[in-house]
Amino acid sequence: MGAVYLAKDIRRHAVCAIKEMGLSQVPAAEREQAIDNFKTEAKILWGLSHRNLPTLMGFFSENQRYFLVMEYIDGRTLEDLLELNRGPFPERRVLGWARQLCDVLEYLHSQNPAIIFRDMKPGNIMLSRDGQ
């Protein structure tokens, strides 16, 4: 994924995140496949509904640029929290995060066909201000 922009959906009067697919790093010969993969991913995300996944509000392309419009999560990545924290997190908090991640993975794996989250890492896990 490329850049992420903070925006306001004027129809819904809601703040949202717009994620741009980064094509600049994709070799020209692979761009068409990358665009097809983006469209497939957007269609898959469109059908998901889980309390610990951001809602996909839409997707579009403009001037050969491709975007996902998603629910904005007011918080930080787990990677950011790890960098800011001095020492270990309380066990109870870590177990809460682990339960939520397992719940999301169970939901994704129960889809038909199963959805595999291949890029799970602290930088891709958002935590809202209330720890969700």
What does each of the 132 residues of the chain score in pLDDT, given as a tens digit? Answer: 579 999 998 988 999 999 998 787 888 888 889 899 889 889 988 999 999 999 999 999 998 889 999 999 999 999 999 999 988 999 999 999 999 999 999 999 999 999 998 889 999 999 999 888
Shortest CA distance to 71 belongs to which of 15, 123, 127, 2? Answer: 15
Catalytic residue among 9, 36, 74, 119: 119
Known catalytic membership, residue 9? no
Phi, psi of 68 (to 5 degrees): -110, 135
What are the residues facing 7 on neighbouring strands? 16
- Where are the chain's structural domains? 1-72, 74-132
- Selection from 75, 72, 68 nearest residue 22 by Cα: 68
Record the pTM. Answer: 0.83
CATH of domain 1-72: 3.30.200.20
Distances 73 to 54, 56, 83, 103, 130 between C-alpha atoms, Å:
7, 12, 19, 18, 11
Closest by Cα among 48, 43, 45, 69 to 57: 69
